Amino acid sequence: GKSDIPIKISVAQKLDLEAKAKPLVGIIMGSDSDLPVMSAACAVLEDFGVPFEVTIVSAHRTPHRMSAYAISASKRGIKTIIAGAGGAAHLPGMVAAMTPLPVIGVPVKGSCLDGVDSLHSIVQMPRGVPVATVAINNSTNAALLAIRLLGAYDSSYTTKMEQFLLKQEEEVLIKAQKLET
């Protein structure tokens, strides 16, 4: 029967499968104008080899898309959501209200109010619906936090984080040494 046919997967096909690995982290942002800030999170996840997806979801301009995204994320295998937004930054909080997954909020600095408006919108969540909020524009830390959370699901990410911390420390020590000599 058909099941007797040996399945051979070529190297190219294998690479293709790896490239399409199911995303574990979902990065969303309110507008494409947030991309210059949020792209740092993408770069970190790429460096750590974390499969992720990235798209635009706006709490105000695409409310139905936002609820569909939040409701489906866990079922689709996403483990953590990183949500960036500026101004009246309701996206991270509203998504957190509709998913059991951990949500990390990135306050994006707009042209007015220096991003403090966004920081306050994201961090001041009511009891019962937490959003882990990072510093203004610091999507790097959002990605690093997401990887730490993934460590609870796959310990290889914890190992990678340990290596990252050692490398980071070493880099500072080298700079200190240079300064002292």
Sheet holding 25-29, edge to edge: 52-56, 25-29, 80-86, 103-108, 132-133
**Binder to ligand RP5 among 23, 26, 28, 34 (CB under 6 A)?**
34
By the rule CB under 6 A, 108 interacts with ligand RP5: yes
By the rule CB under 6 A, 33 interacts with ligand RP5: yes
| Listed ranges 1-9, 13-21, 82-90, 139-147: which one lies at the site for ligand RP5 (CB under 6 A) | 82-90
**Binder to ligand RP5 among 87, 92, 105, 115 (CB under 6 A)?**
87
**Binder to ligand RP5 among 42, 51, 54, 58 (CB under 6 A)?**
58
Interface of this chain with ligand RP5, residues 141 to 180, rule: CB under 6 A: none
Binding site for ligand RP5 (CB under 6 A): 29-31, 33-34, 58, 85-87, 108, 110
